[in-house]
Structure 1
């Protein structure tokens, strides 16, 4: 599992490039899988209906790769410098820290839907109605805070990789190149 289905700097530099994708199909728990798939279902249905299943698959996979790349950059360059500045010693070297989950891929799908339909009403936590753009700002803001606080449980960097892919896809759609 660690060698073939989780992204880490060590896996990547050891030639296990496939983990850029396979990590997006691995989850730490049933709840982790369910929460990602609920987001994919609600936002992916909209994107799939609008652009078709082939576009949705490409967006999902590119979001997975972008999330993994952002994760690698964060763990290769930013975490070590933060450790030095804060004089922290982690139990595992940042290059060995594994990541997994579909969050980067799902963020790409969710945020593209939000970018395309910013005034659409979304029910936050299935209860509170908010305009999609506010949810988008909250999602991205929360991930930036995770990075700044050094959250090791949830990868804000992978989420932001998916957000970056959504922004690229949105720009391409606006130019008519999808």
Structure 2
């Protein structure tokens, strides 16, 4: 079993358990006062193991399944067998840190879901295959186009701040995915720039 499938399986099991166990959910999600006062730093990772509902879980895990396996191969080849685990956990932590710092004193704030780390996986994939066809709600489009639309939408919604979605985590996760990939393999940048000029030359 690949690391991607292990992450997916663990996330699904823990999410299902937490959806039926309110105390477990409360113990794992990101609640800033628990970190600030009780030093429960594990929440900076475990919040990504729980989800608000089945749809939230399904969307994240489907994205991880389709793009995680390729990125696992990429990071394993450069960082060893635990390379993808390092990348994924880093995505969870980095994507949520700005949210945590902004809400350190907000006892009413809670955040959960693997979206930040999944965004990191997706945007790392876009660097490798910008013109690959992906499906968004059964609508096919090039990965790079989706990346641009996703980023613009996340920025817009983050500024509005009128829903319960942590769009900031999506943006920071995407930025982390790009930065981490380029740090590990700088040649990816020239590959990406060259691929952009060859829409049909996959």
- Normalised by the length of structure 2, the TM-score is 0.71
Residue among 84, 94, 97 paired with 1:56: 84
Q: Secondary structure at the match of 2:82?
A: helix
User: 1:66-92 deviations in whole A, cap 9, x for unaligned?
Assistant: 12202213435xxxxxxxxxxxxxxxx
Richer in helix (by share): 2
1:165 lines up with 2:188 in the alignment: no
Aligned residues: 160
Which structure 2 residues correspond to residues 126-137 of structure 1 after superposition, within 5 A? 126=138, 128-137=139-148
User: Which residue in 2 is equivalent to 1:90?
Assistant: none
CA distance in 1, matches of 2:70, 2:63: 11
SS of residue matched to 2:28: coil
Q: What stretches of structure 2 of length at least 5 have no aligned partner?
A: 1-23, 188-202
**Which residue is equivalent to 1:71?**
99
Counterparts of 2:155 and 2:129 in 1: how far apart (Å)? Answer: 23
Asked if structure 1 preserves the Cα contact closer than 8 Å seen for 2:120 and 2:177, the reply is yes
Q: C-alpha distance in 2, partners of 1:141/1:74?
A: 22
Structure 2 CA distance for partners of 1:57 and 1:64, relative to 1, 3 Å: same
Q: 1:132 to 1:69 in 2, by over 3 A?
A: same
Q: Which has the higher contact order (CA 8 A, sep 6+)?
A: 1
| Corresponding position of 1:88 | none
TM-score by length of 1: 0.80
Give the CA deviation at 1:167: 2.0
SS at match of 2:162: coil
Shift, 1:2, TM fit: 5.7
Provide the secondary structure at the position in 2 that maps to 1:4.
helix
